[in-house]
A = this chain, B = another copy of it.
């Protein structure tokens, strides 16, 4: 099911959230509490905005808990906006290219959830990606396919609208393929300025997602990295959180349009 965290605020060392807390993301890679699986050992990734417009990416197939490079990098890199993700594969192979976050120009994206019967609709999902973006596809997983499809749906300009449209298309494909499995979607997106996080599912059982604010700093996590009593708020099912530097945090309903079969 994967576990992730996303941070926006004053520049901090990645280690402060990824490595140091009692239930840090590295700890969650072996001992997650709230996911379907306790072990998230099928690779991991970091993405962070620094001095460049494009984010830095470090993705690796080893488990996060034993990666010396991850610890060193997190202790060195300071960022105002970063993602970290530990992966539990739902079927696709363990390659760097299948690890989150994914990057495309200024944007990055990560996901925790599942596309029911993905293999049966994989090619149809890929058909949503225009040729110019299809060249960027390096992995084989569902998340990258959603990301590139949403990029074509206007993700950079309107993350909420784009993912609403893209997920509707994916849901329609699942239904057309006769899938009885759910589409579950906890995700984070950024363009280097705005952080948008999503919690949605087709079966009212979306993956967990929490957030916390401290001054101007916002943290969104699959599960709390420290005491549960420490101010964590769940993001309600079928809602999105939008945070921008200096503009506070909004949590708003997130709806996926009804599947439009004519789309197929």
The segment from A119-127, A227-235, A246-254 found at the interface with B is: A119-127
Of all chain B residues, which has the CB nearest A122?
A: B134
Indicate if the CB atoms of A58 and B73 lie closer than 8 Å. yes
Indicate if the CB atoms of A66 and B38 lie closer than 8 Å. no
Total contacting residues, chain A, CB less than 8 A: 48
Number of this chain's copies in the complex:
4
Q: Which residues of B contact A75 (CB under 8 A)?
A: 52, 54, 56
Partner of A66, one of B51, B57, B94: B94
Q: Mark A131-164, 1 if CB is under 8 A from B, else 0.
A: 1001101111000000000000000000000000
Contacting B at CB under 8 A, from A159-205, are none
Partner of A68, one of B41, B93, B122: B93
Q: For the complex, what is the distance from the CA of A76 to the CA of B78, rounded to whole Å?
A: 11
Contacting B at CB under 8 A, from A85-136, are 89, 92-97, 119-120, 122-123, 126-127, 131, 134-135
Q: Give A contacts to B, CB under 8 Å.
A: 30, 38-39, 41-42, 48, 50-52, 54, 56-63, 65-66, 68-69, 72-73, 75-78, 89, 92-97, 119-120, 122-123, 126-127, 131, 134-135, 137-140
